[in-house]
Amino acid sequence: MLDKIGIAKRLAKELKDGYYVNLGIGIPTLVANYVPKSIAVEFQSENGVLGMGPFPFEGDEDADVINAGKQTITTLPGASFFDSALSFSMIRGKHVNLTILGAMEVSENGDIANWKIPGKMVKGMGGAMDLVASAENIIVAMMHTNKAGDSKLLKNCLLPLTGVGCVKKIVTNLAVLEVTRLGFKLLERAPGVSVEDIKKVTEGTLIIDGEIPEMSF
Amino acid sequence: MNKKVENVAKAMIDLKNGDTLMLGGFGLCGIPENAISELVRLGVKDLTCISNNAGVDDFGLGLLLHKKQIKKMISSYVGENDEFERQMLSGELDVELIPQGTLAERCRAAQAGFPVIFTPAGYGTEVAEGKETREFDGKMNVMEYAFKADFAFVKAWKGDEAGNLIFKGTARNFNPNMCGAAKITVAEVEELVPLGTLDPNQIHIPGIFIQRIFQGKNYEKRIEQRTVRSRS
């Protein structure tokens, strides 16, 4: 089973040379720490920066330079700042190549829910609805089950949706899965996790085709 | 043309209860701090506020929420504000949550004179409920209206009395999109410089979009999430 760092390391394998990438809040943000040295990628943050760098050294924080998680950041050589409309032009206009975001639920047809629990929690969708409605390459990073132990990979989402039929791939603490027309196709198992373990906590249709390799990263 | 007013009070002289306001900023970054303080001081009520976030409990628009001056918020993310969440869940506050890109583009549509925009964001979700949808190139889109607002309050880094503005870092965010998107746009700046000082090549927003500009003061620029790495 993977921890959050492990999920981030596995996600980093999805990055390709030349990609512009938008990382959501939480586990996705960690992916920036594990970019393979052999490739060049640029991170976009939807509040208006392209070419995001690491956190600043203590004392160098600038209140005017933050990411979408409101964290202080730095910029790398070649970075740019822009307004919110232009930022979402990059997203809606499909100029951003890969979006990695968290989710509360994903359904077997690629629907995603991640912004609201009616009557309990309403944080808002932020940029997530724009990202999932437009990006062609959407990967969800999340735990396989919620805190109560229930599956987050469902036949149908129960929570209000963020987007429909948009998720392409899911990386969890247990597995890597692809969303296909027939359901969740199991691609890889986390180290020490069996296919049976994954079956038990996947409520949606799980397609197991031949030997499922253990992930490597 | 001289758009300069003496202070924030003069910039808001005709603001009324029940007005619809746009306020720039993302989180606490690039918010019009002086305008918000003046709204608190004036005690105007029943405001509709269009702003990506609602501040935190004790800063930004959170200050107006605490004094129950806001009737309706139009935002995309309110996660860092307990009082906001409480007022929303209890029904005291009318809240319209919309996608962040849609919020930006509804501002820009108002600025640019487009009555509506079509966007794929929110299609198939509760955001699209009751709205016209239309298919273009095989993809479904939701029709969203340009905002109509009485005032836009924006914060810039530098400006001149002609209303020309330059923003800094990610404090730019929604501010440029809100300029000229309301009947009256009020810009507050960290540094109001003499005419001719700003290089026309570097202007982000031309003064034509601004009605009033003033030299802001006492900027706190609070950091929401101070994240650092060690030097060693």
pLDDT of residue B82: 84
Q: Which of A7-16, A107-116, B85-94 has the lowest mean pLDDT?
A: B85-94
**Spatial distance between the Cα atoms of A201 and A51, rounded to a whole number of angstroms:** 38
Which residues of chain B from 63 to 122 reach within 8 Å of chain A, CB to CB?
A: 75-80, 85, 88-89, 95, 97-105, 107-108, 119-122
Domains and CATH numbers, chain A: 4-207 (3.40.1080.10)
Q: Under a CB-based contact definition with an 8 Å cutoff, are residues A179 and A109 in contact?
A: yes
**Spatial distance between the Cα atoms of B53 and B100, rounded to a whole number of angstroms:** 10
**Nearest residue in A to B56, CA atom:** A70
Q: Is the dihedral angle over the CA atoms A95, A99, A104, A109 positive or is it negative?
A: positive
Q: Under a CB-based contact definition with an 8 Å cutoff, are residues B98 and B73 in contact?
A: no
Q: Under a CB-based contact definition with an 8 Å cutoff, are residues B185 and B155 in contact?
A: no
pTM: 0.96
DSSP letter for each residue of chain A: ---HHHHHHHHHTT--TT-EEEE-SSHHHHGGGG--TT---EEEETTTEEEE--PPBTT---TT-B-TTSBB--EEEEEEE--HHHHHHHHHTT-S-EEEE--SEEETTS-EE-SEETTTEE---TTHHHHHHH-S-EEEE--SB-TTS-BSEESS--SPPSBSS---EEE-SSEEEEEETTEEEEEEE-TT--HHHHHHT--S-EE--SPPPBP--
Q: Residue A48: which pLDDT band, with cuts at 50, 70 and 90?
A: very high
Is residue A136 among the annotated active site residues? no
pLDDT of residue A135: 87
pLDDT of residue B80: 77
Which residues of chain A from 135 to 174 reach within 8 Å of chain B, CB to CB?
A: 160-165
Q: Given an 8 Å threshold on Cβ–Cβ distance, is A129 in contact with B176? A: no
A166-203 tens-digit pLDDT: 999 999 999 999 999 999 999 999 999 999 999 999 99
Q: Residue B84: which pLDDT band, with cuts at 50, 70 and 90?
A: confident
pLDDT of residue A121: 79
Q: What is the ipTM of this complex?
A: 0.97
A9-20 tens-digit pLDDT: 999 999 999 999
Range A117-125 average pLDDT:
86
Structure tokens at B173: 């965010």
Q: Residue B83: which pLDDT band, with cuts at 50, 70 and 90?
A: confident
Q: Residue B104: which pLDDT band, with cuts at 50, 70 and 90?
A: very high
| Mean pLDDT (chain A, rounded) | 96
pLDDT of residue B231: 87
- The residue written with tokens 């976009």 in the block is A44
| Rg value, chain A, Cα | 17
Question: Rounded to 10 degrees, what is the CA torsion of B85, B90, B91, B94?
Answer: -10
Please, is A181 exposed, middle or buried when counting C-beta atoms within 10 Å of its C-beta (0-12, 13-18, 19+)? exposed
User: How far does CA A9 lie from the centroid of its chain?
Assistant: 12
Per cent of chain B over pLDDT 70 is 100
Q: Is the pLDDT of residue B161 over 90?
A: yes
Question: Quick one: three-class SS letters along chain B?
Answer: CCCECCCHHHHCCCCCCCCEEEECCECCECCCHHHHHHHHHHCCCCEEEECCCCCECCECCHHHHHCCCEEEEEECCCCCCHHHHHHHHCCCCEEEECCHHHHHHHHHHHHHCCCEEEECCCCCCHHHCCCCEEEECCEEEEEEECCCCCEEEEEEEEEECCCCEECCHHHCCCHHHHCCCCCEEEEEEEEEECCCCCCHHHCCECHHHCCEEEECCCCCCCCCECCCECCC
Q: Residue A25: which pLDDT band, with cuts at 50, 70 and 90?
A: confident
Higher pLDDT, A81 or B87: A81
Per cent of chain A over pLDDT 90 is 93
pLDDT of residue A4: 95
**Spatial distance between the Cα atoms of B112 and B180, rounded to a whole number of angstroms:** 8
Q: Under a CB-based contact definition with an 8 Å cutoff, are residues B225 and A70 in contact?
A: yes
CA-based nearest distance B106→chain A, Å? 9
Alpha carbon separation from B194 to B7, B157, B215, B231 (Å, rounded): 17, 14, 12, 40
Q: Given an 8 Å threshold on Cβ–Cβ distance, is A56 in contact with B229? A: yes
Please identify which of the residues A46, A105, A108, A203 carries the catalytic annotation.
A46
What residues of chain B lie within 8 A of the CB of A130, using their CB? 99-102, 119, 121
Which residues of chain B from 153 to 212 reach within 8 Å of chain A, CB to CB?
A: 157, 167-177, 204
Q: Residue A37: which pLDDT band, with cuts at 50, 70 and 90?
A: very high
B172-192 tens-digit pLDDT: 999 999 999 999 999 999 999
Q: Which of A23-27, A204-208, B58-62, B67-71 has the lowest mean pLDDT?
A: A23-27
